[in-house]
Amino acid sequence: MSTPPAAGLRVFITGASSGLGAALAARYAAQGATLGLLARRAFTAPLPHPDRHRHYQADVRDHAAIAAAAQDFIAHAGGIDIVIANAGISHGTLTELPEDLPVFDAIFATNVTATVATFAPFIAAMRAQGAGTLVGIASVAGVRGMPGSGAYSASKAAVATYCESLRLEMREYGIKVVTIAPGYIDTPMTQQNAYPMPFLLAPERFAERAVRTIARGTRYTVIPWQMGVVAKLLRMLPDALYDLAFARAPRKARKNAP
Ligand SMILES: NC(=O)c1ccc[n+]([C@@H]2O[C@H](COP(=O)([O-])OP(=O)(O)OC[C@H]3O[C@@H](n4cnc5c(N)ncnc54)[C@H](OP(=O)(O)O)[C@@H]3O)[C@@H](O)[C@H]2O)c1
């Protein structure tokens, strides 16, 4: 089946109240898309054609709430073209501190299990259409285990591997699975980082590139491309060298409440 035209796309985005999700929403809305936007906070930024879009104030860890939002959006929009499981959280964690165990749970529930719960209720409609694109948001931080970020790095590695499994499962239905691994994008998530962030990109520039990647159905992409080169080098680095170079890498701030 052919890819639908950019105008008129039906796009469901989680984590749309901030950062990458809000920038993606603005980009698709400017193209004339019909949007389903989900987050715990209300989405306040003005969008073109506001009457066309549906807002769902929900926690992605509430799987029944996502399923209800999905059902409502499919009925409202008359189908679904793109689902972007973008909602995510990032906190430093240390395994040796018992108070960080609930943070590990929260990060996995929000970044990994909620990605599954976001895609699942749309698959039947996409199968019936014989087309659709599911988009997972991984991270360059998932390419190798970063010190002090065991939960976040592992969660994003899990997103990338899960999306790869899903891509093969969806192939026979004509459904594409796109994995995007952002490098550093200037959002509230990274604004708290007290260390240099190479190739930092504005969310609007990220969204431009992500929308093109999604339209092409690219299997796996790092945005910006410069961080893709860094990711490839990181992957190739022998463990002993990686340990030497990264044991003292700057660490993300811890948070000990989910
Ligand atoms: N910024 C970067 O450099 C970067 C790099 C790599 C990967 N990423 C990934 O990109 C995605 C977006 O991050 P961002 O930088 O845009 O961060 P952000 O500005 O902090 O936005 C995160 C979004 O996720 C939503 N969210 C978090 N927990 C949620 C929950 N339990 N239920 C519903 N929504 C929830 C937030 O909405 P509410 O708080 O309103 O619920 C917010 O809209 C994340 O998956 C992140 O891991 C970002």
Contacts of 160 (CB under 8 A, 6+ apart): 136, 138, 142, 179, 181, 220
The crossing angle, in degrees rounded to 10, of helices 114-129 and 63-77 is 30
Candidates 12, 13, 18: which one to mutate for ligand 1, based on the most atoms within 8 Å of Cβ? 18
Radius of gyration of the chain (CA): 18
Q: What are phi and psi of 170, to 5 degrees?
A: -85, -15
Looking at the DSSP bridge assignments, the partners of residue 84 are 13, 135
Report pLDDT digits (tens) over 50-105. 999 999 999 999 999 999 999 999 999 999 999 999 999 999 999 999 999 999 99
State the distance between the two ends of the chain, measured CA to CA, in whole angstroms. Answer: 43
Confidence (pLDDT) at 256: 61
Residue with tokens 């970063």: 146
Q: Whose CA is nearest to atom 31 of ligand 1?
A: 59
**How many beta carbons lie within 10 A of that of residue 49, not counting itself?**
12
* Catalytically annotated residues: 152
Report residue 192's pLDDT band, with 50, 70 and 90 as the boundaries.
Answer: confident
Looking at the DSSP bridge assignments, the partners of residue 13 are 37, 84
Across the chain, which distance is largest between two alpha carbons, in Å? 56
Amino acid at 68: A
Report pLDDT digits (tens) over 178-188. 999 999 999 99
Instruction: Spell out the domains of the chain, with CATH numbers in brackets.
Output: 10-246 (3.40.50.720)
- Using the mean position of ligand 1's atoms as its centre, give its distance from the Cα of residue 239 in Å: 30
Nearest to 187 by CA among 150, 137, 116: 137
Tell me the mean pLDDT in the region 16-36.
Answer: 97
Q: Whose CA is nearest to atom 25 of ligand 1?
A: 15
Do 116 and 158 touch, CB atoms closer than 8 A? no
Nearest to 104 by CA among 90, 85, 118, 87: 90
Tell me the pTM. Answer: 0.96
